[in-house]
Amino acid sequence: KTSLDIAVIGGDGIGPEVVAEGLKVLEAAAGDVKMSTTEYDLGAARWHRTGETLPASVVEELKGHDGILLGAIGDPTVPSGVLERGVLLPLRFAMDHYVNLRPAKLYPGVASPLDVARVAPNGIDFVVVREGTEGPYVGNGGALRVDTPHEIATEVSVNTRYGVERVVRDAFARAQVRPRKHLTLVHKHNVLVHAGHLWRRTVEAVGAEFPDVEVAYQHVDAATIFMATDPGRFDVIVTDNLFGDIITDIAAAIAGGIGLAASGNINPSGENPSMFEPVHGSAPDIAGQGKADPTAAILSVSMLLAHLGRDEAAARIDAAVAADLAERGSGARSTSQVGDAITARL
Ligand code: IPM
Ligand code: MN
């Protein structure tokens, strides 16, 4: 295919600002690939105006694109959960984005809150394969006797053999093509015995197909210790939706901050478009001030291009970002200044 058709959802807060910079970079990196973009208005503004979150007709239209670029969803003027459960998660579920891919790489010149020379002398470079369609995110649960002293709330984590096996296989395949060929399962099977042992047995079984990949296991609490004290031990991590949500925020923090963390919500079959978004949220406190770092959105564009087989364009973006990061001083630049500087290097 010589032309790419990208759906763009700026969303809430700083989402539209950082996505605008991502689009500049996408244009500049595209080269002779013809690119068309269509904007979709989803998020707080639409909800206030129409009461809609994610209309079925929009899902159908989105499915007709090659990829989706998303800024952020979530706004304090909307009750917590309405947009998250109404827009972002339904998008991931509708598109069957079962691989939520979140790289954590500390680029040269980027400051980490860790004493990297001591705790990670060989650098930080791992990727979390977070399951994206199951776990406690599916909304399986309920509340009884709400707002009484006897209130009971349940959130039941759903883990299917089918869902676990496909994401585990994807993680093994990613580990196999990385130099270290190492996979860590992160769970909590000492307490969550039903789901935990399903994951453990699945990793063991699928591992037989990947004899050259070395496998490790860590309880999620211990994994957070190692993220802070020995992050170099990680190569590929596979974990469920909620553990993956939590550890990828720590991963972002140690690898230079949430302003740099990119992600892909991937449907590996290619049946539906995959969706790329910065890990950070809508940051309403700094929205509209040109303060947000667009780097995570720009790196998300690179992941989008790589996913669509445009590896060369993706590599050029990564190199431009790396060069910009290496020369970034402490001087504050605006969102668009960062975007322009990276674009200029392409
Ligand atoms: C993320 C976010 C979302 C999640 C929220 C906004 C629903 O925290 O992408 O990590 O929990 O997946
Ligand atoms: Mn999160």
Q: Is residue 106 one of the residues assigned to a domain?
A: no
157 shares its domain with 268: no
Q: Are 140 and 155 in contact (CB under 8 A)?
A: yes
Nearest CA to ligand 1 atom 7: 84
Amino acid in position 286: I
Q: What is the mean pLDDT of each run of 10 residues along the chain (346 residues)?
A: 90 98 96 91 98 98 98 97 96 98 97 97 98 97 98 98 98 98 98 98 98 98 98 98 97 96 97 97 97 98 96 97 91 95 97
Catalytic residue among 41, 221, 230, 311: 221
Residues 29 and 119 in one domain: no
pLDDT at 214 (0 to 100): 98
Q: Please identify which residue in the block is written with the tokens 């969102």.
A: 335
DSSP state of 156: P
Co-location of 158 and 244 in the same domain: yes
Closest C-alpha residue for ligand 1 atom 4: 245
Contact residues of ligand 1, CB 6 A cut-off: 74, 84, 88-89, 245, 279, 281
Q: Look at residues 40, 107, 165 and name the one whose alpha carbon lies nearest to residue 317.
A: 107
Which helix (H) or strand (E) segment is 306 a member of?
helix 295-307
pLDDT at 30: 87
The annotated binding site for substrate is made up of 92, 102, 130, 221
The residue segments making up the domain with residue 63 are 1-99+264-346
Give 159's Cβ-side CA count (13 Å radius).
Answer: 22
* Whether 228 and 272 share a structural domain: no
Using most ligand atoms within 8 A of CB, pick from 70, 101, 245 the residue to mutate for ligand 1: 245
**Are 19 and 129 contained in the same domain?**
no
107 is known as an active-site residue:
no
ipTM of the complex: 0.99
Q: How far is the CA of 33 from the centre of ligand 2 (A)?
A: 33
**Are both 242 and 285 inside the same structural domain?**
no
Cα–Cα distance measured from residue 161 to residue 172, given in angstroms and rounded to the nearest whole number: 16
Q: Ligand 1 atom closest to Cα of 248?
A: 10
Domain boundary among 213, 234, 255: 255
Q: Residues 215, 95: one domain? A: no
Is there a single domain that holds both residue 95 and residue 42? yes
- Looking at the DSSP bridge assignments, the partners of residue 268 are none
Q: Which of 252, 283, 238 is nearest to 105 (CA)?
A: 252
3-state secondary structure at position 86: helix
Evaluate whether residue 314 is within a structural domain: yes
> Considering its fold, how many domains does the chain have in total?
2
Same domain, 187 and 320: no
245 is catalytic: yes
Same domain, 124 and 219: yes
Please indicate, yes or no, whether residues 249 and 268 belong to a single structural domain of this protein: no
DSSP state of 138: G
Query: Domain for residue 105, yes or no?
Result: no
Residues 334 and 207 in one domain: no
pLDDT for res 327: 92
Q: How far apart are CA 307 and CA 267, in angstroms?
A: 10
Domain endpoint, select from 221, 255, 289: 255
pLDDT at res. 2 = 72
Under 8 Å between Cβ of 196 and 187: yes
Q: What CATH number does residue 234 fall under?
A: 3.40.718.10
Among the three residues 255, 277, 304, which one is the final residue of a domain in this structure?
255
CB 338 within 8 A of CB 21: yes
Q: Is 34 a catalytic residue?
A: no
DSSP 7-68: EEEEESTTHHHHHHHHHHHHHHHHTTSEEEEEE---SHHHHHHHS-SS-HHHHHHHHTSSEE
Note if 137 is an active site residue.
yes
Read off the pTM: 0.97
Q: Which pLDDT score is estimated for 1? A: 60
Catalytic one of 137, 170, 240, 324: 137
185 is a domain residue: yes
The tokens for 314 are 């993706």
Q: What span, in angstroms and rounded, lies between the C-alpha atoms of 21 and 341?
A: 10
- Nearest residue to 334 via CA among 277, 269, 289, 296: 289
